[in-house]
């Protein structure tokens, strides 16, 4: 029984460390990308994934954490960029990080030499990782586990939460939107100019954007209670990150398969 409780606790902690937008956020990103695929890219992705669209594929990387065969991907959900610095591969996890894994997977998919099963898995991982790299706290400072160590109280919930969870899911869940409702709302902000901009931004800039947002993300009151005021100020950031993730994912997939 003690072993079982310890195992369950470890699973809960691991899940809390790297969930990344939760299902609603990841699926909204996948849905946005699906809507902005070129015809050629959409046709090729359908050949690879079959009846699974990008929205449903987006959470696969979280689901495989229940399978020890994929333990090597555990550290791929985040990247460490201390404030005032740029990406440094020497301080990352030896098993890989979100930035490095994303670049490597894009190169592998572009090679067009992967067996079908590996291409299916890499494609689903890519959809997830682009989402994770747009959640500000998945680009961690290196001293608080991406906000997991910043304990807060969310709304009127009796149990404590943490800053990472607030950004992963608490704010999204408070809106009570389905992923399709959220994606439809965000898609109304899309313009040809915005689509063009997403095609000209390099991945290194994604990390810089997250670092620049830290002032707002970590602006927590002394009593550690976060509620409507915190969400009022930060919800536009959540919308922006989800929208950019969806459009940038579409741009990457159009480049690979279009």
pLDDT in tens, the chain (258 residues): 445 444 444 444 434 444 579 999 999 999 999 999 999 999 999 999 999 999 999 999 999 999 999 999 999 999 999 999 999 999 999 999 999 999 999 999 999 999 999 999 999 999 999 999 999 999 999 999 999 999 999 998 878 899 999 999 999 999 999 999 999 999 999 999 999 998 878 899 999 999 999 999 999 999 999 999 999 999 999 999 999 999 999 999 999 998
Q: How many other CB atoms are there within 10 angstroms of residue 211's CB atom?
A: 17
Contact 257, 44 (CB under 8 A): yes
d(C-alpha 257, C-alpha 186), whole Å: 24
d(C-alpha 180, C-alpha 160), whole Å: 29
Domain holding 138: CATH number?
Answer: 1.10.575.10
Kindly give the pairing relationship between strand 151-154 and strand 161-162: antiparallel
Among 142, 251, 156, 144, CA closest to 202: 251
Q: How many other CB atoms are there within 10 angstroms of residue 39's CB atom?
A: 9
Which of 122-133 are b and which e, b meaning 16 or more Cβ less than 10 Å from the residue's Cβ?
bbbbbbbbbbbb
Kindly give the pairing relationship between strand 151-154 and strand 225-226: parallel
Contact 251, 130 (CB under 8 A): no
Residue 197 structural domain: 2-257
Kindly give the pairing relationship between strand 225-226 and strand 139-140: unpaired
Domain count, the chain: 1
Contact 212, 131 (CB under 8 A): no
DSSP tag of 258: -
Contact 213, 237 (CB under 8 A): yes
């Amino acid at each position: 029984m003690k072993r079982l409780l310890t195992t369950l606790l470890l699973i809960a902690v691991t899940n809390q460390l790297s969930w990344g937008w939760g299902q609603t956020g990841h699926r909204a990103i996948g849905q946005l990308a699906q809507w902005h695929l070129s015809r050629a890219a959409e046709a090729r992705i359908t050949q690879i994934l079959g009846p699974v669209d990008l929205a449903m594929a987006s959470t696969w990387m979280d689901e495989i954490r229940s399978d020890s065969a994929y333990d090597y991907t555990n550290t791929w959900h985040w990247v460490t960029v201390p404030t005032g610095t740029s990406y440094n591969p020497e301080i990352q996890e030896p098993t890989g990080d979100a930035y490095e894994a994303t670049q490597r997977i894009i190169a592998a998919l572009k090679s067009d030499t992967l067996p079908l099963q590996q291409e299916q898995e890499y494609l689903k991982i890519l959809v997830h990782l682009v989402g994770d790299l747009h959640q500000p706290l998945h680009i961690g400072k290196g001293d608080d586990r991406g906000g997991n160590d910043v304990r807060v109280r969310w709304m009127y919930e009796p149990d404590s939460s943490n800053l990472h969870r607030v950004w992963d899911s608490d704010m999204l869940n408070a809106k009570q939107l389905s992923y399709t409702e959220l994606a439809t709302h965000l898609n109304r902000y899309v313009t040809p100019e915005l689509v063009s901009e997403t095609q000209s931004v390099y991945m290194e800039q994604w990390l810089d954007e997250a670092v620049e947002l830290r002032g707002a993300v970590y602006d927590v009151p002394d009593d550690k209670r976060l509620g409507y005021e915190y969400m009022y100020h930060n919800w536009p950031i959540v919308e922006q990150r989800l929208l950019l993730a969806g459009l940038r994912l579409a741009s990457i997939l159009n480049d690979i398969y279009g």
